[in-house]
Structure 1
Amino acid sequence: MRFGFIGSYGTPEQQVRLARECEEHGWDGFFTWDGVSLAEEGFDAAPTWDPFGLLAAAAVVTERITLGAMVFALPRHRPWELAQRALTVDHLSGGRLVLPVGVGVPTDRAFTSVPGQPTALRDRARLLDEVLAWLERSWTGESFAHEGELLRTGDFHFPKPPVNGRIPVWPVAVWDAERPPRRSLDRALRWDGIVPQVRGESPEDAEAGPDDVRRLVDWIAERRGPDAGPFDVVFQGRLDADPQTAAGQARAAADAGATWWLESWWDPATVTHEWLLERVRQGPPRV
């Protein structure tokens, strides 16, 4: 299992420094986040930054670690601009970009304050699929047009494909062992990984635990078959300050089948850049 760290707060300069410190202290990935103007207490006072701008800068000061954002809200991105930005970071980093993707949060004014933006969950999910289909066509190196239900464009041509032919995509999907939501789960199965969530009232409540991940991994294995290629399962959590306890947390996630642990701290009342930097310098646990 690999370990990534989410830079939840800080100036652009501090975020880039955090990415460099992640590489220096043994982490396997640095992730920022994708939001514009959040109408949510605590988050509405924090500045937001363009994730691709931050990741481009992080690509320049690192050589090894994976780069991404938790998560890219694809339905509010213009796909042609998204394709260009992703391709730029992919080449700048030597193919180290991954794309965790989702429908976006309904509290972002980039949805609610812009006429014509989809706000209903069903519409955002449909547009997510169309943007992903458009993005994949952009990686072929061939000219293409798109005629979808919600997205229509004429000819585009991106002659340079991603460094590794494609950029890994990790869709967010809700997991419920009793009633698996097939639309979001089937979307993840079509791509390269999954960011699982469970039903909950808060972001922390929605984080899948080891038991959830174990059942999800079994469900995925049955449907992908024994000859399927690599598939990432992303576990979001918060490691304990005690190294032995943290190692136990990581082992539980790895034993459940998670391939990534993403260190995820979001409380705007307590989390600062300095605090995040201190956590990064502790390094990931030894498992």
Structure 2
Amino acid sequence: MRSAVWLPLFDELADPRVVAGLAVEAEAAGWDGFFVWDQIAWRTPVTAVGDPQVSLAAAAAVTSRLVLGPMVSPLARRRPTKVARETVALDRLSGGRLVLGVGVGSDSFAGEYSRTGEPVEDRTRAEMLDESLEILRSAWTGEAVHHHGTHHLVDGMTFSPTPVRGDTPVWVAAFPGNLRPLRRAARHDGFFPVNLTSPDQLAEAVTRVGALRTDPDRSYDVAIDLAPETDPAPWVAAGATWVLTDVDPTTLRLDAVRGMVRAGPSS
């Protein structure tokens, strides 16, 4: 099992200098990863929201070992060609430590889509996510990208440089009971099941994703979020390879986060 700090970039954590300092402390305390939320807005009482790409760049520049990335980025509201440039820049800045967490996202948390003119229909955002992932995978190869989709067009562009290791791991967020997201997760490098209620539910989801994978021998991660101080052992036995800290964004305080980070991961 590997452990990661997972932080909403809200209020006191909206400053990338603060995030970079926490990343340094996380690395010193023995954490394996450092992930951040990707939000444009959030509901009250949150008032300030930070940028994930800038915050991750700040964290990457001052660390040398931590795996890091957005968890998760709702690609339907982002241009995949811009994401291709950003991911490679972060990958190279970090020396190949980037993991890209992706998901369909939801308008229910803060009205991010409806208030900015983005599509709110789940099916449409899912289609855009799949097209974006296809474009990213092609772009990371350094070969010409030819994508003529329903939502995105990339006509013969090449993207250089490429990731340090030739690719970037992609972890897909999905509700365990929905088949289409599970199929999406099985096509990539990791699975981030959301709204889990028990280790048994996780074990069932891991089994379903495993049955959908075309190359079961390829390295694959299963990331879950648990409240700090929760015993991870039953979840690891159910198939989790990564455990992320689950903190309440509405009660987030820098001193408490710093204390959690300094205490190190649960054994």
AA aligned to 1:196 is P
SS of residue paired to 1:155: strand
Q: Which residue of 1 aligns with 2:183?
A: 186
Contact (CA 8 Å) 1:7, 1:18: kept in 2 or not?
Answer: no
Q: CA deviation at 1:210?
A: 1.3
SS of residue paired to 2:156: strand
* Cα distance in 2 between the residues matched to 1:175 and 1:74: 20
Structure 2 segments unaligned to the other structure (5+ residues): none
Contact (CA 8 Å) 2:186, 2:210: kept in 1 or not?
Answer: no
Please give the residue correspondences for 1:197-276 in structure 2 after superposition, counting only pairs within 5 Å. Answer: 197=194, 206-224=195-213, 227-240=216-229, 246=230, 249-268=231-250, 270-276=251-257
Q: CA deviation at 1:190?
A: 0.3
SS of residue paired to 1:194: strand
Q: Which residue of 2 aligns with 1:12?
A: 16
Contact (CA 8 Å) 2:19, 2:58: kept in 1 or not?
Answer: no
TM-score of the two chains, using structure 1 as the length reference: 0.86
Q: CA deviation at 1:225?
A: 6.8
Q: Which residue of 1 aligns with 2:44?
A: 41
Identity %: 36
Q: Which residue of 1 aligns with 2:266?
A: 285
Q: Which residue of 2 aligns with 1:104?
A: 105
Structure 1 segments unaligned to the other structure (5+ residues): 198-205, 241-245
Q: Which residue of 2 aligns with 1:113?
A: 115
* Cα distance in 2 between the residues matched to 1:226 and 1:58: 33
SS of residue paired to 2:259: helix
Aligned length: 262
SS of residue paired to 1:97: coil
Task: Name segments (4+ residues, structure 1) moved above 6 Å.
Answer: none
SS of residue paired to 1:145: strand
Q: CA deviation at 1:7?
A: 2.2
Please give the residue correspondences for 1:44-59 in structure 2 after superposition, counting only pairs within 5 Å. Answer: 45=47, 47-59=48-60
- Give per-residue Cα distances to partners, 1:115-170, cap 9 Å, x unaligned: 3x211111111100001111111011112231001112323211322111110001
- Give per-residue Cα distances to partners, 1:50-70, cap 9 Å, x unaligned: 211111111111000100122
- Give per-residue Cα distances to partners, 1:78-127, cap 9 Å, x unaligned: 11111111110000001100011011220445421233x21111111110
Contact (CA 8 Å) 2:172, 2:185: kept in 1 or not?
Answer: yes
Contact (CA 8 Å) 2:80, 2:136: kept in 1 or not?
Answer: yes
* Cα distance in 1 between the residues matched to 2:81 and 2:168: 15
CA RMSD of aligned residues (A): 1.6
Q: CA deviation at 1:223?
A: 3.3
Q: Which residue of 2 aligns with 1:126?
A: 127
